[in-house]
Chain A
Amino acid sequence: MPLANTPTSVPVEVDEGKCIADKGCTVCVDVCPLDVLRISDLTGKAYMKYDECWYCMPCEADCPTDAVTVNIPYLLR
């Protein structure tokens, strides 16, 4: 059976203007207990690759430039 790609609105937002992942920062990617954040090959900025979030907030709290916002996933809101 072929696999489909179903869209999902992800809880973690990254302000690309503030993100310094392109300067070597990996803080949010490192601290995520579920390992769902990645740095984009295209933009060099962090983004949420997998919608598997516990909205626990280390990514937001530890971001040195306040670039990360954790929203409550839509299903819970």
Chain B
Amino acid sequence: MVFEPFEEESDFEELAERLDDPDPAIRRVAVLNLADTADPEAITLIARAISDSSPEVRLQAAIALGEFDGLEAAAALCEALQDGDSGVSRAAADSLAEIKDPHAGEPMLALTSHQDPKVREGALLGLKQLRRPDALANGIKAMNDPVPAVRIQAVGVVGYLKAEEALPALIAGCRDDEPEVRRTAVGALAFSKSAHAVEALVNATADDNWTVREIAAEVLGKQDSGTRASELMGLLEDPFWQVRVKAVRSLGKLRVSAAVDKIATQLDETVSNLRKEAAAALGEIADPAALPYLEKLVDDPDPDVRKNVRWALGQIG
């Protein structure tokens, strides 16, 4: 007896027929089967299900399209993003974020000023991954959106493009009312080596919100801005240890010899993670001035700290 050992070829006619079945559950299974084919030919049929009368079928179609790519899938998802059913539009937003073909960004561009903030947010999220230079204008404009969630995605679009001409917008984002927008904008400045960007980062070290100061401390470590070491050192007095950890790491990375005494103050902290990072940073800087501080810690109660102290002592020589 002979049998078929391979996954069967897709029968699109039969699938299309089931897509017209009066029973919504059968239509839903048809969408599942279409997604399984992974064949771009299935997109047209699944896109048809985006306007199905049953929200379950539309939901399944919105999920299924996330497994495909290209303009046709993106256009159908943009339609689903505007669906009255919130489950369908949420699934469409998730699926849009999976699109990779930059050409598929066309219909998303048209939606960044849609009346519904959920639609604007979903469209920007999709655009972010595509890194289309022509989305920069949409992103910058949406950074002034009244809805914070939209502004966060807008900063995402702009940040991924790493464009010097967007600096004024990103710097303005660092002064946004919403902390999460500011945090994202500060993070997005990492690419720029310009004096304006560094200035904005320095300003962010004095932000009211600790998560903004934390990312500023981290990003300053990515800049070759040894001249800004004083601000980083200033962050070592921050009330939040999370901020101090990042500042210590950045000072170590930048090998700021002048910071040895300041970093050493962190070796007395009760948070052992901070002592560990401070010891590691002193090792990276490898300045003999750190020796007396480190030697005091060879018997630290935390083994991880002791290990880093040993390593740092080895680095100094």
Contact = CB atoms under 8 A, between A and B. Distances in A.
Asked if A and B touch directly (CB within 8 angstroms), the answer is: yes
Interface of A: 20, 23-25, 27, 64-65
Most chain B C-beta atoms within 10 Å of own C-beta, residue among A23, A27, A65: A23
9 contacts: A20-B28, A20-B29, A23-B23, A23-B28, A24-B26, A24-B33, A25-B28, A25-B32, A64-B32
Contacts of B18: 24
B308 interface: no
A64 B34 CA distance: 14
B270 to A, nearest CB: 38
Nearest to B31: A64
Interface of B: 18, 23, 25-26, 28-29, 32-33, 56, 60
Contacts of B23: 23
Contacts of A23: 23, 25-26, 28-29
Nearest to B33: A24
A23 B18 CA distance: 11
A65 B26 CA distance: 13
Q: Which 4 A-B pairs have the closest CB atoms?
A: A23-B25, A24-B29, A20-B25, A25-B29
B24 to A, nearest CB: 9
Nearest to B59: A64
Nearest to A25: B29
Contacts of B60: 64
